[in-house]
Amino acid sequence: MSPTRLLVPLALSLLAACATQTKQNVTVEKQSECPARLNNGQNLILILPSNPTTGYRWAIQDSAGGVLRALSPEVYSNPEDAGLVGSAGISTWRFQSFATGTGRLRLTYSQPWAPEVPAVKTFDCAISVN
């Protein structure tokens, strides 16, 4: 067999392997994108609207600790095009799946100094890791 005939099947099999490769990051921005399904080792990026200038903050109530580990604390950013002091932005968390199983990622949006007041928003996402 000629070398060219050997390279064609090899090249096709490598292309097929690349096409079936899963993404390293899974991004969730809305409750409707849940439940989230991850492969072991994949990263979950959670992005939620936030405005800490109002005194409201997201607090993690359940971190799906049996299947996810935090890669970073919450990072707040303000959209560059807003240009207004006190305008809303986004809070971002990064997690990595490390074990097969299920868990819940639950957050509440409230004023930390007023625990008796119910949260104004909640985020509850079922997490499944294969």
**CB neighbour list of residue 65: distance below 8 Å, 6 or more residues apart:** 103
The closest alpha carbon to 95, from 24, 21, 22, belongs to 24
Prediction pTM value: 0.78
- In tens, the pLDDT along 60-108 reads 999 999 999 999 999 999 876 556 666 789 999 999 999 999 999 999 9
